[in-house]
Amino acid sequence: MHRTTTRKIRVGNVEIGGGAPISVQSMTITDTRDVEGTLVQIYQLATEGCEIVRLAVPDQEAAAALAAIKPRSPLPIVADIHFDHRLALAALEGGVDKLRINPGNIGSRARTRIVAKAAKERGVPIRIGANIGSLSKAMLRRFRAPSAEALVESAMEDVQVLEDLDFHDIVISVKASEVPMAVRAYAMISERTQYPLHVGITESGTAWAGGIKSAAGIGAILSSGIGDTIRVSLAAHPVEEVKAGFEILKSLGLRTRGVQLVACPSCGRAEVDIIAIAQEVERRLARINAPVKVAVMGCAVNGPGEARMADLGIACGRGMGLLFKDGKIVASLPEDRLVDALMEQVEVIAREKAAATA
Ligand code: SF4
Which ligand 1 atom minimizes the distance to the CA of 306? 1
The answer, yes or no, to whether any atom of ligand 1 lies below 6 A from the CB of 275, is: no
103 pLDDT more than 70: no
Assigned domain for 101 exists: yes
In testing the pocket of ligand 1, which one of 275, 301, 306, 324 has its CB within 8 Å of the most ligand atoms? 301
Assigned domain for 1 exists: no
Instruction: Examine the domain organization and report whether 215 and 270 are in the same domain.
Output: no
Q: What is residue 226's predicted lDDT score, i.e. its pLDDT?
A: 97
Paired sense of beta strands 14-16 and 260-263, if any: unpaired
CATH number of the domain bearing residue 293:
3.30.413.10
Q: What is residue 344's predicted lDDT score, i.e. its pLDDT?
A: 94
Instruction: Examine the domain organization and report whether 158 and 301 are in the same domain.
Output: no
The answer, yes or no, to whether any atom of ligand 1 lies below 6 A from the CB of 265, is: yes
Instruction: Examine the domain organization and report whether 334 and 221 are in the same domain.
Output: no
Instruction: Examine the domain organization and report whether 239 and 272 are in the same domain.
Output: no
Angle in degrees, 0-180, between the axes of helices 60-69 and 35-47, rounded to the nearest 10: 60
Higher per-residue confidence, 319 vs 200: 200
The answer, yes or no, to whether any atom of ligand 1 lies below 6 A from the CB of 315, is: no
Assigned domain for 193 exists: yes
Residue 35: CB atoms within 10 A of its CB come to 17
The answer to whether the CB of 191 falls within 8 A of the CB of 224 is no
CATH number of the domain bearing residue 34:
3.20.20.20
Instruction: Examine the domain organization and report whether 30 and 142 are in the same domain.
Output: yes
Instruction: Examine the domain organization and report whether 306 and 193 are in the same domain.
Output: no
The answer, yes or no, to whether any atom of ligand 1 lies below 6 A from the CB of 333, is: no
48 pLDDT more than 70: yes
Distance CA 48, CA 255 (A): 14
Assigned domain for 92 exists: yes
| Mean pLDDT of the chain, nearest integer | 93
- Nearest one of 227, 174, 165 to 2, comparing CA atoms: 227
The answer, yes or no, to whether any atom of ligand 1 lies below 6 A from the CB of 278, is: no
Q: What is residue 159's predicted lDDT score, i.e. its pLDDT?
A: 92
* Least confident span in 280-289, 301-310, 330-339: 301-310
The answer, yes or no, to whether any atom of ligand 1 lies below 6 A from the CB of 301, is: yes
pLDDT tens digits along 328-339: 999 999 989 999
In testing the pocket of ligand 1, which one of 262, 266, 309 has its CB within 8 Å of the most ligand atoms? 266
The answer to whether the CB of 161 falls within 8 A of the CB of 103 is yes
The rounded Å distance from CA 341 to ligand 1 centre is 21
Instruction: Examine the domain organization and report whether 137 and 237 are in the same domain.
Output: yes
The answer, yes or no, to whether any atom of ligand 1 lies below 6 A from the CB of 245, is: no
Mean pLDDT of 296-317: 87
Instruction: Examine the domain organization and report whether 79 and 155 are in the same domain.
Output: yes
The model's confidence at residue 108, banded by pLDDT at 50, 70 and 90, is: confident
Distance CA 138, CA 330 (A): 67
* Least confident span in 109-113, 183-187, 198-202, 344-348: 109-113
What pTM was computed for the model? 0.90
Mean pLDDT of 216-243: 97
Domain of residue 304 covers: 260-357
The answer to whether the CB of 278 falls within 8 A of the CB of 261 is yes
Q: What is residue 319's predicted lDDT score, i.e. its pLDDT?
A: 86
Mean pLDDT of 26-43: 97
The answer, yes or no, to whether any atom of ligand 1 lies below 6 A from the CB of 22, is: no
In the chain, the number of structural domains is 2
Instruction: Examine the domain organization and report whether 319 and 246 are in the same domain.
Output: no
Which ligand 1 atom minimizes the distance to the CA of 265? 5
Residue 78: CB atoms within 10 A of its CB come to 28
The model's confidence at residue 194, banded by pLDDT at 50, 70 and 90, is: very high
Instruction: Examine the domain organization and report whether 230 and 274 are in the same domain.
Output: no
259 pLDDT more than 90: no
The rounded Å distance from CA 251 to ligand 1 centre is 21
83 pLDDT more than 90: no
The model's confidence at residue 290, banded by pLDDT at 50, 70 and 90, is: confident
The rounded Å distance from CA 145 to ligand 1 centre is 48
Residue 137: CB atoms within 10 A of its CB come to 8
Instruction: Examine the domain organization and report whether 93 and 228 are in the same domain.
Output: yes
Nearest CA, atom 8, ligand 1: 267
Q: What is the per-residue burial (b if ≥16 Cβ within 10 Å, else e) of 16-30?
A: bbeebbbbbbbbbeb
The answer, yes or no, to whether any atom of ligand 1 lies below 6 A from the CB of 217, is: no
Which ligand 1 atom minimizes the distance to the CA of 270? 3
In testing the pocket of ligand 1, which one of 271, 273, 274 has its CB within 8 Å of the most ligand atoms? 274
227 pLDDT more than 70: yes
* Residue at a domain's end among 190, 223, 251: 251
Mean pLDDT of 96-107: 85
pLDDT tens digits along 120-167: 999 999 999 899 988 888 889 999 989 999 999 999 998 998 999 899
The answer to whether the CB of 177 falls within 8 A of the CB of 200 is no
106 pLDDT more than 90: no
284 pLDDT more than 70: yes
The answer, yes or no, to whether any atom of ligand 1 lies below 6 A from the CB of 264, is: yes
- Nearest one of 201, 177, 198, 178 to 189, comparing CA atoms: 198
* Residue at a domain's end among 251, 285, 315: 251
Nearest CA, atom 7, ligand 1: 301
Which ligand 1 atom minimizes the distance to the CA of 264? 4
* Residue at a domain's end among 217, 251, 285: 251
Q: What is residue 327's predicted lDDT score, i.e. its pLDDT?
A: 87
Assigned domain for 3 exists: no
Strand order through the sheet with 23-27:
170-175, 126-131, 98-101, 77-81, 52-56, 23-27, 229-231, 198-199
3-class SS string, the chain: CCCCCCCCEEECCEEECCCCCCEEEEECCCCCCCHHHHHHHHHHHHHCCCCEEEEECCCHHHHHHHHHHHHHCCCCEEEEECCCHHHHHHHHHCCCCEEEECCCCCCCHHHHHHHHHHHHHHCCCEEEEEEHHHCCHHHHHHHCCCCHHHHHHHHHHHHHHHHHCCCCCEEEEEECCCHHHHHHHHHHHHHHCCCCEEECCCCCCEHHHHHHHHHHHHHHHHHCCCCCEEECCCECCHHHHHHHHHHHHHHCCCCCCCCEEEECCCCCCCCCCHHHHHHHHHHHHCCCCCCCEEEEECCCCCHHHHHHHCCEEEEEECCEEEEEECCEEEEEEEHHHHHHHHHHHHHHHHHHHHHHHC
Instruction: Examine the domain organization and report whether 125 and 233 are in the same domain.
Output: yes
